Amino acid sequence: MNRVSNAAAAARASVLLPRPTMSGRVVPPHSARAIRLYLLVGVAAIVFPAVYFVSDLIEVAQGGFSTFRLILTYIGEAGFPLFVIGIYATQFEKLGRAGLFGAVAYAYSYVFFTSTVIYALIAKTADWPALTKAFGPWMTVHGAIMVAGGIAFGFSVIRVMPRWTGVLLMIGVVLVAAASGLPDAERAAAASVPDIAFAAMGITLASCALDSRRTKGGNDGEHRDELREGGSRRAAGSHARATARDPAGVRRLQGTP
């Protein structure tokens, strides 16, 4: 009998336990609110880099800036600070101080870069060389901040996300800085590297959230079943005790002679 019970318990546990995924080292969400945060950050880390990459492709095709291209760039860049800080917020227990520095530095650099897009829209700047000339050394300073933040954040992420995402981010920010003076196509290719890294982190977070939602739902159902079983057992035990104390009274209540 014990063997049958143990086998049933093991089978039930195998259904409820989360299956191994690429998010195995990620700190999982422990509440419905946290699951929603993971999903929101994960989707943002996929969508905003994708929008930014599309704007780069448009620049390559057009050979310079356009209003539509700059609007897409603004939308993409404005999302970077949000999801980078969001990734840190979901995994702060493991990312530590280096992760915090990296997230804040990288997010800050993109706040600056987003402001340069607004300038380009207002001033009708023709292309990237003209924009870098307008901002002079400030572009270089914030590029260095981006590189430092990306390296620190990527190094910290290696302990949590799939290792290749952190390595790719570190390589990507160096490539972006190195390609700053190159033609549009080379700069777009370099920018795609950190975009891919962040998108993969977003997929990892979203996958973790969906796994946790499925597991939480299964555990909630199991908990309800246990409560029902426990209630039935308690009711049966109460009836047995009442019968033992006053069998005649119980028979009267049940309408039996």
Dump pLDDT digits (tens) for 94-117. 999 999 999 999 999 999 999 999
- Are residues 64 and 190 part of one domain? yes
95 located within any domain: yes
- Are residues 176 and 62 part of one domain? yes
- Identify the pLDDT of residue 23: 52
Percent of the chain with pLDDT over 90: 69
- Are residues 245 and 125 part of one domain? no
Position 17 pLDDT exceeds 70: no
Dump pLDDT digits (tens) for 118-166. 999 999 999 999 999 999 999 999 999 999 999 999 999 998 999 999 9
pLDDT (average), residues 70-88: 97
> What is the span of the domain harbouring residue 232?
222-254
20 located within any domain: no
23 located within any domain: no
- Identify the pLDDT of residue 138: 96
DSSP secondary structure, the chain, as one string: -HHHHHHHHHHHHHHHSPPP-TTTTSPPP-SHHHHHHHHHHHHHHHHHHHHHHHHHHHHHHHTS--HHHHHHHHHHHHHHHHHHHHHHHHHHHHHHHHHHHHHHHHHHHHHHHHHHHHHHHHHT--SHHHHHHHHTHHHHHHHHHHHHHHHHHHHHHTTTS-HHHHHHHHHHHHHHHHTTTS-HHHHHHHHHHHHHHHHHHHHHHHHHHHHHHHHHHHHHHHHHHHHHHHHHHHHHHHHHHHHHH-HHHHHHHHT--
68 located within any domain: yes
